[in-house]
Amino acid sequence: MLELRSRDDVTEIRMAHGKASALDLELCDALTRAVTDAAPRARALVLTGTGRIFSAGVDLPRLLREGPEYQRRFLGALSRAIVTLFECERPVVAAVNGHAIAGGCILAAACDWRLMVEAGATIGVPELAVGVPFPVAALEVVRCAVGEAVAARLIVSHANLPPAAAAACGLVHALVPPAELESAAFAEARRLAAIPSASFALAKRALRAPASERIRATRSLDDDVTSAWQSPEVHRAIAGYVDATLGKSRPPRSEGS
């Protein structure tokens, strides 16, 4: 599910959950635990995926199959994972090795520095194309990563971007040849780890305070988000999206947020 390894005081967390590292209750809980446990011991973290996929987003077929109680628990676990990553006081580098769709994109956006392979992958937030609303934490992370105007454009257009377009709008910071991604991510993690930890943590906390405050102040909206995800209308939209994308090789059929 998650593969962890440490080198030079940097801990790599690699998502390796099925073919697409689709986000489900167990993966979200595991990611929250991994970040929480690794942060006190590591100087920096690297988050990456496996093969040609970083994460394809929410496991939508399972979401439909499991019913309302699973949906409620999953959305809570997803928000906790996003916030835990976003508010981790250690530097976190995303090594986007392949497709990062919706929830996968949001996990990357929660990181401090984002590297992406220069070809053969897409990244974006197509939640509205699926027909689902954003949990509050997910929306705020995107807004913090790219700013209000770009976030609105990404969300409303619901496009998945190729690497060059993602770099141009600030969704990722740099593009790297696939063979060099791992070493580049560790180099960036070591660069950030060289900053005195208290100084980095205070700067990060200040930069992200407005988003964190909005997440806490508007958390009650997540009750409405959960109700929407559980509604027959949204279920029909999700089922239609899954049916339309079933069998396509790019992007994988998961998603959500």
Sign for the pseudo-dihedral over CA of 26, 31, 32, 36: positive
> Using an 8 Å Cβ cutoff, are 142 and 220 in contact?
no
Give the residues across from 100 on adjacent strands: 55, 123
Q: Report the alpha-carbon distance of residue 162 to residue 235 in Å, rounded.
A: 29
Backbone angles phi, psi at 59, to 5 degrees: -75, 90
- Based on the residue annotation, tell me whether 127 is a catalytic residue of this protein: yes
Cα separation, 106 vs 110, whole angstroms: 6
**What is the distance of C-alpha 212 from the center of its chain?**
16
HSE-up (13 A, CA, CB side) for residue 110: 33
Question: E strand or H helix at 12, and its extent?
Answer: strand 10-15
Of how many residues is the chain composed? 257
| 101 to 20, 183, 216: CA distances (angstroms) | 10, 23, 25
Report whether 216 contacts 88 (CB < 8 A).
no
Catalytic residue among 87, 89, 127, 148: 127
| Residues marked as catalytic | 127
